[in-house]
Amino acid sequence: MSTVSAGTLGAVAFSGINSFGCSAASGNLAVLGGTPIRQNKTWPSWPYVDDKVIQSLTETGKSGVWCRIQAGSRVPELEKRFAELEGAKQCVVVGSGTQALHTSLEALGIGAGDEVITSPLTDPGTISAILSARALPVMADLDRDSFQNDPDDMERRITENTKVLMPVHIAGTPCHLERVMEIAKKHNLIVIEDSCQGHMAEYQGKKLGTIGKLGCFSFQTSKVISCGEGGAIIGDDEELMDKCYTVQNHGTNRQGRTVTIGPKYRMNDLEAAILLGQMDGVEERFARRNENANYLSERIKDVPGIVPQKKYPGTGRVPWYLYMMRYKKEHFNNIDRSVFVKAMNAEGITIGPYLSQGLHREPWVDHVLDLNVYKRFFSEARLKQYRDQLPLPNTDKVTGEELLMIWSSGPFLGTKEDMDDISDAIIKVYENRDQLLSL
């Protein structure tokens, strides 16, 4: 079947605007001079600020207690609140998600000569954390529907040097964690969950970050709980969590003895005050995003070629940090994703790819493999094999052609009408996809 006929069939099956319940889908696309679906409207702003946040910040500012080693610091209070929120026994907060991941690795004794398997579709901070420990980041390929690590590919990449699996819960939606945990058990590996995007996400009745040995979070500005820059580690193993505290405190333990190697990654009280100021409303905002995202998914469920991110069994509510979709161009006259993006943006909906390419294609690979520490700790054969295994065909498809995302921390706190604008724009572009052929 040619792609044109597939599109034609789609038009028959979903003939006219009523089959999508969308009255705004007719007419010229805005990219070709038509009227945009959304104009002169704003999304709820982000990061989240209200009077409680300002009051909390002001009080801490006036108090002069700005550092966690001062008496009266509120940082431990934040650690308690965040551990409770995520259902973990303990929490250590730090200056960023990257720092949380690096601290976790150091606390577990991961270093030169060790390998950590992770995703190429993540923030550079994930890779940076592994490199900061001088371990080797090994990137496993993706599932093209979930954009998460394919656990089978993770398993294939295990070597005698592998110590840690660091799956990334991309968009804050759980990866195939059950399989990842099985693989870790079988090969005696530690799991550190990169939950930097996954605040309060639910999986098999637990919260993300509590299933692996340690879970790491980011409070960077765009995240659903944010303070500009910040991060947290959660875990149930008290001895290990104590080590995390020590590592992020320049190697100095809670008793004041300097006992190990560690950077100084302490969170300050001004950051903690912003986070504490927003704790009261996080559940409510989480619920609102879930309501809106589910409504949007329902509205677009019959649009051929736009498929919301696949969720694995056991996935409950998620934070909707990013709303991700797979674009299947065969349903859009084989038109490139970039043209779809242009058409959507002209309709007033900001949408785009997450990364233009996977992190396996960034220059750090060449740089790092040429460093003495890696040449000294890994055999020439292993470094050659590493290079040979770098092609990640699914990741290239996902980043280069298929992944679409909407930043949703703020926008999904909006109204149903806001969600209608997104779905109407998608439906309008789909219904009028033939017009895109002229672009």
Ligand X SMILES: Cc1ncc(COP(=O)(O)O)c(C=O)c1O
Q: How far is the CB of 233 from ligand X (least distance, A)?
A: 12
Q: How far is the CB of 18 from ligand X (least distance, A)?
A: 40
Q: How far is the CB of 247 from ligand X (least distance, A)?
A: 16
**Helix (H), strand (E) at residue 382:** helix 380-388
Closer to ligand X at the Cβ: 194 or 424? 194
Alpha-carbon distance 96 to 247, whole Å? Answer: 14
Closer to ligand X at the Cβ: 25 or 196? 196
Catalog residues that contact ligand X under the rule CB under 6 A: 96-98, 122-123, 125-126, 168, 194, 196-197, 218, 220, 231
Q: How far is the CB of 321 from ligand X (least distance, A)?
A: 8
Closer to ligand X at the Cβ: 122 or 173? 122
Q: Classify the phi-psi angles of 260: left when phi > 0, otherwise alpha if psi is within -120 to 50, otherwise beta.
A: beta
The full DSSP string for 287-354 is HHHHHHHHHHHHHHTT-TTEEE----TTB-----SEEEEEE-GGGTTT--HHHHHHHHHHTT---B-S
Closer to ligand X at the Cβ: 168 or 200? 168
Please list, in sequence order, all residues whose beta carbon lies within 8 angstroms of the beta carbon of residue 291, skipping any fewer than 6 positions away: none
| Biggest alpha carbon–alpha carbon distance for the chain | 73
Q: How far is the CB of 127 from ligand X (least distance, A)?
A: 9
Please give the C-alpha separations between residue 419 and each of 3, 14, 233, 398, 412, in angstroms, as whole numbers.
29, 20, 33, 25, 8
Which amino acid, residue 115?
E
Q: How far is the CB of 342 from ligand X (least distance, A)?
A: 26
Alpha-carbon distance 383 to 159, whole Å? Answer: 12
Nearest to 273 by CA among 425, 110, 67: 67
Nearest to 343 by CA among 19, 13, 33, 77: 33
Nearest to 215 by CA among 204, 206, 228, 224: 206
Please give the C-alpha separations between residue 371 and each of 138, 243, 365, in angstroms, as whole numbers.
16, 29, 10
By beta carbon distance, the residue nearest ligand X is 97
Dihedral sign for Cα 183, 163, 115, 219, please.
positive
Q: How far is CA 252 from the centre of its chain?
A: 31
Closer to ligand X at the Cβ: 229 or 330? 229
Q: How far is the CB of 365 from ligand X (least distance, A)?
A: 18
- φ and ψ of 144, to 5 deg: -75, -10
Closer to ligand X at the Cβ: 104 or 197? 197
Q: How far is the CB of 278 from ligand X (least distance, A)?
A: 16
Burial class (CB in 10 A: 0-12, 13-18, 19+), 17: middle
Q: How far is the CB of 195 from ligand X (least distance, A)?
A: 8
Q: How far is the CB of 220 from ligand X (least distance, A)?
A: 4
Nearest to 120 by CA among 310, 369, 320, 389: 389
